Amino acid sequence: MSRYKHIDIDGNNIDLPVGKIVCVGRNYLQHIKELDNEIPTEPLLFNKPSTALSALNSPIIIPKNLGSCEHELEVAVLVKTRICRASIKKAGAAIWGIGLGLDLTLRDVQSALKKQGHPWERSKAFDSSCPMSQFIAIEQVKNLSNIDFCLCVNNQLRQHGNSRNMLFPIVKLLKNISNTFTLLPGDIVMTGTPKGVAALTTGDRLFIDLNEHFSVRTDVI
């Protein structure tokens, strides 16, 4: 069982279970272009298990001998109530808060799986493949359509995104997802990554910032 716990910005445990992670692919146009993917007409969804979660402020362990492991920084949404086939109003009311997470991706493994027409789990859902930050309560988020965030690696800006550039905005995403997967208290929705994904290597130093709310420093080992 994962040792990960949801925490707030003061370091307190959030009274929600640790659930699944529903991830959204191809939600930023520039990222779609950098990987030469097709633009989706509806959200592209895949899941990570709870064992993929780890604390973002702990050292990041990347798998060895499996090729490139790339970072994908994303706005993460913590769900507080069960939603199934939700309305926009109920989807918005189901949000506990907002954080940042890394969707670590074994890109060489993923490319090989894609060529064979196989699912991506081996490249996306491995243990500790989703380092997760603390969460800021939704009441402290001024505008879900203007969440600014960035990732620096070794003092160099790698990714900078803003939720206003999402193809599928946060609340609409939750509504859409709930039509396929029931979302339960403690589930997390990863909302897609902006451009700038690149490989991590042992010794990299990461600085991750959710503008006006918090920042996290961590290392790759």
Over residues 7-31, the mean pLDDT reads 95
Q: What are the tens digits of pLDDT across the range 25-36?
A: 889 988 878 878
d(CA 30, CA 49): 28
Cα 123 from Cα 130, distance rounded (Å): 12
pLDDT, tens digit, 9 for 90 and up, residues 72-103: 999 999 999 999 999 999 999 999 999 999 99
Residue by residue, DSSP assigns 60-116 as BPPPSSSS-EEE-EEEEEEE-S-BSS--HHHHHHTEEEEEEEE--EEHHHHHHHHHT
Which helix (H) or strand (E) segment holds residue 46: the answer is strand 44-48
Q: Which two tokens stand for residue 68?
A: 């490139």
**CA distance readout (Å), 164 to 27, 51, 60, 75, 194:** 11, 30, 29, 12, 11
Q: Report the topology of domain 21-219.
A: Fumarylacetoacetate hydrolase; domain 2 (3.90.850)
Q: How far apart are CA 110 and CA 53, in angstroms?
A: 19
Task: Supply 84's token pair.
Answer: 């199934």
Higher pLDDT, 41 or 15: 15
Query: According to the model, what pLDDT value does residue 95 have?
Result: 98
pLDDT in tens, 179-208: 999 999 999 999 999 999 999 999 999 999
Please give the pLDDT value at position 1: 42
What pTM, to 2 d.p., does this model score? 0.96
Three-class SS state of 204: coil
Judged against a pLDDT cut of 70, whether residue 2 lies above it is answered with no
- Taking the C-alpha atoms of residue 56 and residue 76, their distance in angstroms, rounded to an integer, is 12
Average pLDDT score, the chain:
95
